[in-house]
Structure 1
Amino acid sequence: MDTDAPMSPDWVFSNTSNVSVAKNRAWFTTYTSFTTHIGHPYFDNSDMAGPIEDHEGRIAAHFDEKKTLLCLKLSGPPVGLVTSPSLFLKETRDPGNVYTIGAYWPDSERARWEAVKPYTSEEKAWLKEHYGGEYHFLQEQDLSMHKDEDREEGRSLARSIMANGDSDDDQEEDDDSNSFLDELEADPMSHVADYQFSQEQLDWIKKHYQHSGNFLLSYGLKPFDDEDCSEGKAILNALMNEDD
């Protein structure tokens, strides 16, 4: 990637996308996502336009309505790098062209990314508390800290263990821990949706369906799809109420 080439200063908000894409890593030292409400600049809706604020109320960016697309105006490019002229100014665009942007990942890829994305600070703290850190956790799983594919597998496994409520101490005392790992190895989707359910619900699922993956799939629902999981929880609540 050529970090010396001029970069466009525009960051475009796309409501037809389900992922965020940056074309140059040099924009980032650290990154924090922000939740906002957005609308079309031609609509007069003050709740859906304006600045993005962080959790302390500081303005992180605002929307530039002079552009043909909804562009975020940030403080500036990375230090030492120059930017090319905006590609989306109304004054410079070709009136004969239509500008659209969309970036899409299928549900399967989004689920894979959720499983292997870098650890959050909370997940690092969990690893430190129960295993002494990522290195020791990987050692226990016969995985290498020096292989990217092993670290990805480790992150997926750690998140499944966290979702199931198990820890290193629990595994020594709980006879079910081996079956949990066996299920995960046999079917990577078996416990992907565990975090969607309460412990009481997981206990009920275990009694009747073995694991959450089986439960959801038995109703034609995908364990890695949030909407399907919401539908699954509604079905589960109805089934549990029938048992009471």
Structure 2
Amino acid sequence: MNKIILAAALTLCTAAPSFAASVFVGSSNGTIGTLDTDTGVLSGAYDAGPGWFDIAVDSSGDVYGTTGSSLYSIDVDNSAQGVLLGGHSALNGLAFDDSDTLFGSGGNRLFTLDTTTGASTVVGNVGSGFSSSGDLAFSASGVLFGTSNGGCSGGGDCLFSIDAVTGVGTYIGDIGFSAVFGLSRIGSTLFGMTASDQLISIDMGTGAGTLIDTYNISGQTYGAAVPASAATIPLPAGGWLLLSGFGALAAARRRRKQS
């Protein structure tokens, strides 16, 4: 009986169907929508204001966007227009770290941004030929990644890792796609979105990109961000119940042995 329960638990944990994870996508004409990474379907798209060079979401689910020179807060839940917070240095990439510090990339530099005033502060020069293609994203372990259209060995974009303290970057590898303007990490997967509305996965070790699907958004994809709820992919409730039951059974067996 115990073997049957263990086998069922392992089957549920390893063979459970995938769970849809959403990414906010912003476009050149101000549209923001929600992209399902499992199906490639874009839903809830609406006009949120000016063209967004990039968007980012903090741990509370608050959405911010940049026009390249100004930072906005965007109430996506209510399909509201962006509210101007203030100006900043020229940049086209945004990402929050786990402590809700907002980072930005522009040209060959890394910045931090004040989410109240929009003001930017230079962290450092990335170097190695890096030129921000359009987005940043943090891995689960806190490594900052950025897409670049400079310092690559091929004709498309490439992936860099960037030290969030010094701003110094390291070339990882060519992605194999051009204009990778959106970058988002869900669980252990790094997703990229191109200006041609291609959804790709990117190997964080080699930088190589793989086409997953295509989608349609008004204008060109200029940025992407992951809702706070999609940062990790949880085990389904049934899985937790089954594992909890298995743990209780094991505990009961230990008590019987001790008695």
User: Common fold, TM-score beyond 0.5?
Assistant: no
Task: Report 1 or 2 for greater relative contact order, CA contacts < 8 Å, sequence distance ≥ 6.
Answer: 2
Which structure has more strand as a fraction of its residues?
Answer: 2
TM-score (norm 1): 0.25
TM-score (norm 2): 0.24
The structure having more radius of gyration, on CA atoms, is 1
